[in-house]
Structure 1
Amino acid sequence: MALLKQLNIKHPIFLAPMAGVSTPELAAEVSNQGGLGSLGLGAHTVEAAREQIIQTQALTDNSFQVNFFCHETTPLNEQIAQAWIAQFAPVFAQYDVTPPAQLKCIYPSFKDHNDYLNLVLETQPQAVSFHFGIPHEHQIQALKDAGIITMVSATNLAEAQAIEAAGIDIIIAQGIEAGGHRGVFNQAFDSAVKTSDLVQLIHQHCAIPVVAAGGVMNGQQAKHMLSLGASAVQLGTAFVQCKSSNANAAYRQALFQQNITQITESISGRPARGLINHWHTKIDTPNRIAVPSYPYTYDLAKQLHAAAVKHGEQGYAPFWAGSNVSQIRELEAADLINQLVLEMIHAR
């Protein structure tokens, strides 16, 4: 397949670049087994991101991708922010913690400056992918000039066509089943297309390769996506349980004990799918107040989760997972890749 040659990988299997969960070890295990490993670096400082890339390069000579957030940075509405903080004051008090006085922008966008771009140009990973939008034209050109393959997530056809028009190399078709943050460019509008439909739409209307992301947990599902026009599949939830991921014990346990997921924007300020918990049942009520913009909202959620965990409460944890989490299997990364490949070979 052309995509495999383009990326210099053996199998059409990508590890989703999960910020906070991905590690150099997990990325290298996937890459060493013939897939495309990944590092989710959007939540890292430039220095921490550099360290992750260098560690991964020390663990594998094979291709891997690095991922950054590409959202439009918006100023915080202080009135909305203060109202949001105020409603959580009793919850923080329950855990003997004072709520934050202000919300901070904890994650910069790749588009805000060229620091991340310069890091990628310096470290030269095989590929770089983006979530929430498309980089600036000069950034795309610099990556092209350096021979680095570019990929951007699309949640509908219009986004995919914009990605292709911008000169990006590969489209990641993120269906509504996918765990974690929705890659929507405009968070006020989510087409909510399922992965199989999205792959077909993009394959029919775009000339560049498309990668299916969302709901893929086994080789049969992967082969089905390939039959619909995908050049590869990208899995995240299936790999979170691997010992080499950065998921904590409570997260791993929850993946095998819960099987219902729901999308909420109350955790971070952007819609994201995770295991159902207090955010979905206590906060996302019919009379929920306005949510501050991303990533300011995430600042409060992280502080609340940290306070609750000290009291043994995991109900505010951002345990991201896809809608097919009930199909998760306890396999290490190399074994999971091998199992997926076998299932794809024998799938009818």
Structure 2
Amino acid sequence: MAGVSSPAMAAAASNAGALGSIAVGAADADAAALMIGAVRASTGRPFNVNLFCHRPARVRPEAESDWIELFRSQFTALGASPPVRLREIYRSFLVDDEMLGMLVDLKPAIVSFHFGLPGRHALDALRDTGAYLIATATSPAEAREIESAGVDAIVAQGWEAGGHRGCFDPDAPDARVGMAELTAQLVREVNVPVIAAGGIMDGAGIAKVLELGAAAAQLGTAFVGCAESFADTGYRQALCEAGVRGTIMTRVISGRPARCLANRFTAMDALVPAAAVPDYPRAYDLGKALNAAAAARGDFGFGAQWAGESAALARSLPTAALVEALAVELKEAQQ
């Protein structure tokens, strides 16, 4: 939930009895340290720090030039110009020694990985701090790789989940396994705790995944509408219209498959072959520039409004109130 999760939301979730999480994948080490410090200033409870472990982007000049030209007319209509060239706006944790050093110094209690796994050196260094390590899997094969690396728990991310697919290779075939099936498979096949993720919006949903053998449930979209979320006005309005809009899995916004509320940007997905989209996060450089140009005119149709298939069930509550409601619903479902 990079860009949406705030220190205040992470702290409020932890204070209310859940495990709050702060996403630092879009930040450099200094900014991430400030975010971790802000969470610690508001809670003495454990919280998770989430990192992106994507392969560093390939620079494909011709594809990137074509991509810029494809969107030039949209920029022109908004009175803006597209980027002259695309940049790698996020540095992968795979090659970010400064981020690793900062985490070793600050010693967060839980560290989680998305898009893959860091190298053995980083895993050992974080483990030596006492951190509990978690990684996302979208398939049994990825789960087995995570378990072999000695990671403590696995997030089973179903196809219905909002935001970026955690798949290790975005260009490999994707079986698109749903959350319930993947959770049940991993519970049988791995010997570490499994955390279910994808489409879980209430306490009844949490109860169902616990019955499948999951050790916990991870909720993201459910918290986008919370008061402490960094989601902008357009994102919040789109979330309120989720029942009409629906969601789509697309890579046109960022360069990697991600589930988003349907909008003007996602409509491009049907017109563009996957191979034409520049690598993540270079494609996202243009996506963010286009959204900024549109938002400056009050048009939020190009936002990265990440959301899962059950987004219509989202509630606009303070984080603590949502956690309390989830706990009550879970208790009722288990009676």
CA distance in 2, matches of 1:342, 1:243: 20
What TM-score results when the alignment is normalised by the length of structure 1? 0.93
Q: Which of 72, 88, 94 lines up with 2:71 in the alignment?
A: 88
Q: Which of 181, 188, 200 lines up with 2:164 in the alignment?
A: 181
- 8 Å CA contact 1:264–1:284 kept in 2: the answer is no
CA distance in 2, matches of 1:203, 1:295: 32
Describe the superposition over 1:20-64 as per-residue Cα deviations: whole angstroms up to 9, x where unpaired: 011111000000011100100000111111000011111000010
Amino acid at match of 1:122: D
CA distance in 1, matches of 2:7, 2:254: 25
Describe the superposition over 1:302-343 as per-residue Cα deviations: whole angstroms up to 9, x where unpaired: 001111112221111110101001111222111111111111
List aligned pairs for 1:30-69, cutoff 5 A.
30-69=13-52
| Partner in structure 1 of residue 251 of structure 2 | 265
User: By how many angstroms is 1:112 displaced?
Assistant: 0.7
- 8 Å CA contact 1:265–1:271 kept in 2: the answer is yes
List aligned pairs for 1:129-278, cutoff 5 A.
129-189=112-172, 190-259=174-243, 260-278=246-264
Query: Structure 1 residues 93 and 52, CA, compared in 2 at 3 Å: closer, same or farther?
Result: same
CA RMSD of aligned residues (A): 1.2
Following TM superposition, the consecutive aligned residue runs of length 4 or more in structure 1 with deviations greater than 3 angstroms are: 286-289
Query: Structure 1 residues 228 and 288, CA, compared in 2 at 3 Å: closer, same or farther?
Result: closer
| Partner in structure 2 of residue 21 of structure 1 | 4
Q: Secondary structure at the match of 1:176?
A: coil
CA distance in 1, matches of 2:83, 2:294: 15
Equivalent pairs counted in the alignment come to 331
- 8 Å CA contact 1:264–1:279 kept in 2: the answer is no
Q: Secondary structure at the match of 1:39?
A: strand
CA distance in 1, matches of 2:236, 2:41: 27
Describe the superposition over 1:56-92 as per-residue Cα deviations: whole angstroms up to 9, x where unpaired: 1110000100011001113211111001111111111
- 8 Å CA contact 2:159–2:179 kept in 1: the answer is yes
Q: Which of 277, 282, 299 lines up with 1:296 in the alignment?
A: 282
CA distance in 2, matches of 1:142, 1:175: 30
Describe the superposition over 1:258-314 as per-residue Cα deviations: whole angstroms up to 9, x where unpaired: 220111000000000010011222343266771001100000000011111122211
- 8 Å CA contact 1:84–1:289 kept in 2: the answer is no
**Percent of counterpart pairs with the same letter?**
43
Q: Which runs of 5+ in 2 are unaligned?
A: none
User: By how many angstroms is 1:122 displaced?
Assistant: 1.1
CA distance in 1, matches of 2:58, 2:273: 24
Amino acid at match of 1:300: L
CA distance in 1, matches of 2:211, 2:59: 44
| Partner in structure 2 of residue 333 of structure 1 | 319
CA distance in 2, matches of 1:286, 1:164: 36
What TM-score results when the alignment is normalised by the length of structure 2? 0.96
Query: Structure 1 residues 44 and 113, CA, compared in 2 at 3 Å: closer, same or farther?
Result: closer
- 8 Å CA contact 1:154–1:174 kept in 2: the answer is yes
Amino acid at match of 2:103: V
Amino acid at match of 2:199: G
CA distance in 2, matches of 1:64, 1:331: 20
Q: Secondary structure at the match of 2:276?
A: coil
User: By how many angstroms is 1:344 displaced?
Assistant: 1.0
Describe the superposition over 1:184-204 as per-residue Cα deviations: whole angstroms up to 9, x where unpaired: 001012221100001011110
CA distance in 2, matches of 1:170, 1:290: 35
Q: Secondary structure at the match of 2:51?
A: strand
Amino acid at match of 1:39: I
Q: Which of 285, 309, 317 lines up with 2:295 in the alignment?
A: 309
